[in-house]
Amino acid sequence: MTYVKEEIGFVAILARDLRLASRRRVDILLPLGFFVVAVSLFPFGVGPEPNMLRQIAAGVVWVSALLATMLSVSHLYAADHADGSLEQMLLSPRSAYAIAAAKASAHWCLTGAPLVLCAPLLGLLMDMNSQALLILTATLLLGTPILSLLGGLGAALTLGLRSGAVLLILLILPLCIPTLIFGAGAVSAAESGVSVEAHFSLLGALLLLTGLAAPWGTAAALRIAVE
């Protein structure tokens, strides 16, 4: 009796990662904690002038979310690589593409989604108005999956390297720049009264493109890592 369907592999890996995370809840709070601390450092650094904070708020929240994602993604494959699970996944009848997509999805559920939920609160802290908050949250909702997918690619490429975490950030941050530009740009566009439709279309296009290409690259990198 064999059950071979791609979605079963995807669901099995996603469910296992979520279950593992539920056994280690503190790990979920760490990137979130970093995000909150990083954003709240800015009023101390640039001064508590509300106009200034309002102007930089979207950019600050976006950059902090980006860094929180990159810091947490560096260990995405490390444990599975060390205990032999990754080998078993790659040798299973499931496609490596589905494995990479499942791992990136799990990362988004555990890191990206909490960041999106937390962002409006931090925006409020930076004196953003309700319209800007709404747009900020919406761009993060579209943008954080891109970051998880790119981060997964970086984690696979740097798997097994000693200073993998730093290398990952150097490799992947440049790829995140377009997402950052359109994500943070949408909020400033709205504030200056310009339509944000183009920003959202471009973010959506980036998400589709990354969703198609990143798991494929991740899969190739993982195959090299287990050899």
Q: Catalog residues that contact another protein under the rule CB under 8 A.
A: 1-4, 8-9, 12-13, 16, 19-20, 23-24, 79, 82-85, 87-94, 226-227
Nearer to another protein, 49 or 83 (CB): 83
Joined tokens for residue 140: 């993060």
- The amino acid sitting at 47 is G
Nearer to another protein, 20 or 171 (CB): 20
Q: How far is the CB of 22 from another protein (least distance, A)?
A: 9
Q: How far is the CB of 11 from another protein (least distance, A)?
A: 9
Asked if 129 contacts 38 with a C-beta cutoff of 8 angstroms, the reply is no
Q: How far is the CB of 109 from another protein (least distance, A)?
A: 17
Q: How far is the CB of 14 from another protein (least distance, A)?
A: 11
Nearer to another protein, 9 or 183 (CB): 9
Count of residues for the chain?
227
Nearer to another protein, 5 or 121 (CB): 5
